[in-house]
Structure 1
Amino acid sequence: MTDSRPIEWGFFRQPEKYFQYEKQEKSMRNKKKQAIRQNRIDSIMQIVRHHAQIWDTEREILAHKIIDAFYDTQLGNGIGFYEANAHDDYSPDWQMWRSKDERIYWEKILAMVNQNCPYPQQFHPMSAFTFMDNLGRHFALPCYLLWELQGRDYFTCYHLASAYSTNDLPLNKTQQIVLFEFVQFMSHLYQQNADDVNLAEWDKVHAHLSKQFMYFQAA
């Protein structure tokens, strides 16, 4: 028997209202996410500026690019700063220190050199990089780049010129391009200051990373 009742077309229009609502919800979520991102970036920039020994517009622009490129980088199951320092000191408590490592927000490490670090011995950023794995180095790299911009020398150029430190470093295309801009900035800085010794070291970094990463070039 055929149903002769009129079709309720309103039912078929309902999905349009649902998709419109879903679109609005997605837009609100994106705006909230963007606001959270901007607040975090602003907080990191405040840390960088506050502890900088020298600062200018060029450093400001480059710092923003570094933070943006490494914004989503996390430590995961890698070897972080505390664990790396524990291995450097042959500490039997390295597992305890591993449990204390920051694994999500790398900027918490950025200010560690200026705060009362809970690590019992002197905190050595320059040696910690050597005792990290590729995930740890990836997570820590923005800190080292920003420390350099602040005027702090933690042997970043020696680490970046080393195959041991850069092999299997999981940099994406954007991060490789930003790293190129950073190395260019450092080379130009020492060229301006007629510092041939440091300029030669950064030239080594440029030569090494050019072979290591296919996107280590200008955007």
Structure 2
Amino acid sequence: MTAPHPRAPRDSGVRERLARLVDRLPRPMRRWVLRIGVRMPMVAWLTVMWLILWGDVTLGATVAGAIVATGCYAAAKLPRMPIGVRLRPLGIVRVVVVLAYDLLVSSVHMAWHVLHRPGRARGAVVAVPLQTESDLLMAMTAGGLTMVPGSMVVGLNRDEGVLYVHGFPLHDERSVEKLRRDVRRTEELFVRAFGTAADIAGLNGGTPERVPAPGGRGADGGEG
């Protein structure tokens, strides 16, 4: 029995068909399509962030978010995102649902500590190595964490792929480890929603060796 031929990745076939389709266009239109294509993923991501902050996924909110995202993109002159970035609808829905849940739970948790344990609520800055090497996915992870009460990204080492996250409240090493798990879970959500096949493979492969694993700063009870 002959072994079956390995199947080519579906993503590569889609890219080839799109490339052939674009090549058939007239040169001015081809240039315009390419310019729009490399910018659409960034605009789409900004629109998703707008909907999460707005808390209402409607046609009007989506159109308004797309307009605001396009305006911010043009005003800030943001870098173009490679076309290789993937938009996975199921993963995007998962990001929205999980972040909305985290917003609710963290808000209640923060309020309880502030009202019932104001003198014992302490914060800390914790260094968390990331697994992705994509600048965009790092930025998405940082944005998602900062949206949730009780966690705020205060620094990012792009060369080593380390996020510095201020967590509140943090009382002991157990709460520090929980913050690290939350950061890695948020990273995985965005990678599986927007990452390429290589990004997801990197997630499954574990943390790169080039990334150090420093401990938290101030986790022993000092104020963050």
Fold in common (TM above 0.5): no
Larger radius of gyration: 1
Query: What's the TM-score, normalizing by structure 2?
Result: 0.26
**Bigger strand fraction:** 2
**Bigger helix fraction:** 1
Query: What's the TM-score, normalizing by structure 1?
Result: 0.27
